[in-house]
């Protein structure tokens, strides 16, 4: 079986970023994490993970990229929860506390 060409993924990511922006953005590094399942993994009750990275991205940069992405997702989730909570409170609720 031939090894898949990472350059295909690289081009797809570049095209995706350019299509979603103003055309001036460019990707400096990327890491793709995928959850995979197979019959061999199912037999032991586990899923697996694959990671594919841009060529030349050092291990320490991969870990940093994953950490920053995780923090960004968590901050977005916290912000969404905050907005949902603030929307559920009406101005009347705040006025009653002032009395």
Distances (CA, A) of 48 to 17, 36, 44, 51, 52: 28, 5, 11, 10, 14
Residue 67 Cα to chain centre, angstroms? 10
Output the pTM of the full model. 0.61
For residue range 43-93, what is the model confidence (pLDDT) as tens digits?
766 778 888 999 889 999 999 999 999 999 999 988 888 888 887 775 555
């Amino acid at each position: 079986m031939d090894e898949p060409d990472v350059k295909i993924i690289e081009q797809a990511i570049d095209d995706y970023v350019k299509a979603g922006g103003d055309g001036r953005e460019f990707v400096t590094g990327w890491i793709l994490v995928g959850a995979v399942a197979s019959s061999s993994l199912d037999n032991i009750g586990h899923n697996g993970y694959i990671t594919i990275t841009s060529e030349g991205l050092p291990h320490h940069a991969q870990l940093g990229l994953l950490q920053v992405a995780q923090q960004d997702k968590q901050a977005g989730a916290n912000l969404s929860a905050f907005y949902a909570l603030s929307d559920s409170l009406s101005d009347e609720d705040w006025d009653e506390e002032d009395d």
